[in-house]
A and B are shown apart, each in its own frame.
Chain A
């Protein structure tokens, strides 16, 4: 019997969720589920650079915000279909990734992290002063009431984000398993040794930054339609930067499933906390979880699982 290729599992899960979205009537689940899916994209995208190559990007919000404001610009100009805005956001964000990469990737460790954080702040300031997209007042995007083939527009947004999450997961997985992923792992372990083994370190890092940033930009493009009122603070929120680091860290950074687990776990907890307690509590929960994982399980949930499996194997073999 032929082995079932493992990319089939994310596809099946996505199809299952798609089927569920057709029968669930309560709109709240679509609203909440959208956020979880959005974080699956952000966490998986972040992990392509941060997890695989070890370059910590604090500026996820920059790429996400580019996607969101890219959609705003298009919306003001000619209101194209959402898919066009997503592609546009992805391209612009990955081009910004390209420039950022060349400017900053020679910086190691904490300096790279600070440079990416600065990028988010600079972009937010620029948008604040850009009247065309509303400046500090923000922008109201008129969301169509319905769209053909879907029970509601929110349901449509949910399905779009489901598709993006599937793409992000499959791209992350493909990179991880390819020779590019091996090269990125070599960079993470020791960049000088990697370079001296023939790994084109600069080119791989630039590639990872572009793919990672592009996916984040794509995740940002539907956002103006999701919240309908977009302002610089919500598009460039620090929460994106922190969450997209925390999720892979908690889930596990060496396997593509890690960011997915982390995103689902953290985003669900945050959604529940927002409803039941307060939204202020969110970042504190993230902080507490982060500290616990860094000290107790530095390889995340995937790492815990693997340790358990190894222990069991050893027990079975003796």
Chain B
């Protein structure tokens, strides 16, 4: 049996904020096309890990390889162009632009750098993505007027527009209704079928269970479990961390 070489391979990522250790030597590896759930209590370091992987902040120590390249020194925009794309837990839309305008930024600045074919124009591509997340009829409205739920969908749409190889969705479903959660899960499955590996960060366990093949658990900046989803969910330590015994 040959092991497939990982798409993302991050080793011993450490991050301190002053005296507080937010990430303590975390290893994380993702294979191409994999679906992984990243869970953990509030403040356990999930978003900090996303920030370190995407280059939004730099980790104190550790190495990150993506697609066979060392990327820990690259600025965020280059990592995005290579194909690591993340959403923000608190949506950060480009408020002076329309909804479709928000998507043309990654289409122009990231997707073109590894676009396959690229026959259709940016506007058509943007409309297709908006169709998928259910924002098609808001395409030409100012993004400043969107509801919180719509902003989360825009976050996801904008990340998809960057044409990721690895999509990191940081709590995209918070605040969504049950049927909207199902829609997003379906969309993520659809993206995954196109070959995109996905890390789903979620407190909604139903979504994690339905979606991920593997689950990674962070507690207080340490990785305490990393296995198939049903094994992890029955892991005594994880249960303790969640139920707080």
Contact = CB atoms under 8 A, between A and B. Distances in A.
Interface of A: 179, 182-183, 185-186, 188-190, 192-202, 254
Nearest to B143: A189
B77 A186 contact: no
Nearest to A193: B92
B108 A195 contact: no
B105 A195 contact: no
Given A179-B108, A182-B108, A193-B88, A188 B96 contact: yes
Given A196-B77, A198-B113, 20 more contacts: A179-B109, A186-B94, A189-B96, A190-B94, A190-B95, A192-B56, A193-B93, A195-B55, A196-B55, A196-B56, A196-B76, A196-B86, A197-B80, A197-B162, A198-B105, A198-B111, A198-B162, A199-B105, A200-B75, A201-B77
B152 interface: no
A196 B75 contact: no
A199 to B, nearest CB: 5
Contact of A185 (B80, B88, B94): B94
A42 B95 CA distance: 28
A188 to B, nearest CB: 7
Interface residues of B, number: 27
Nearest to A201: B77
Contacts of B81: 198
Contact of B76 (A179, A186, A195): A195
A179 B76 CA distance: 19
B223 to A, nearest CB: 24
Contacts of B162: 197-198
Contacts of B80: 195-198
Contact of B109 (A192, A199, A254): A199
A194 B111 CA distance: 14
Interface in B90-132: 92-97, 104-106, 108-111, 113
B106 A197 contact: yes
Contacts of B153: none
Interface of B: 54-56, 75-77, 80-81, 85-86, 88, 92-97, 104-106, 108-111, 113, 158, 162
Given A195-B75, A199-B105, A201-B77, A254 B88 contact: no
Contacts of B55: 195-196
A183 B96 contact: no
A102 to B, nearest CB: 14
Contacts of A192: 56, 76, 88, 92
Given A182-B108, A183-B109, A196 B54 contact: yes
Contact of A197 (B75, B95, B96, B109): B109
A186 B75 contact: no
A183 B105 CA distance: 7
23 contacts: A182-B104, A182-B105, A183-B109, A186-B94, A186-B97, A189-B93, A189-B97, A190-B93, A192-B92, A193-B92, A195-B56, A196-B54, A196-B77, A196-B80, A196-B85, A197-B80, A197-B109, A197-B158, A197-B162, A198-B80, A198-B113, A200-B75, A200-B77
Contacts of B75: 195, 200, 202
A179 B111 CA distance: 14
Contact of B110 (A179, A185, A190, A197): A197
A182 B86 CA distance: 21
Given A194-B105, A196-B77, A197-B158, A254 B92 contact: no
A198 B112 CA distance: 10
A192 B158 CA distance: 14
Contact of B105 (A186, A202, A254): A186
Given A189-B94, A193-B92, A199 B56 contact: no
A141 B135 CA distance: 64
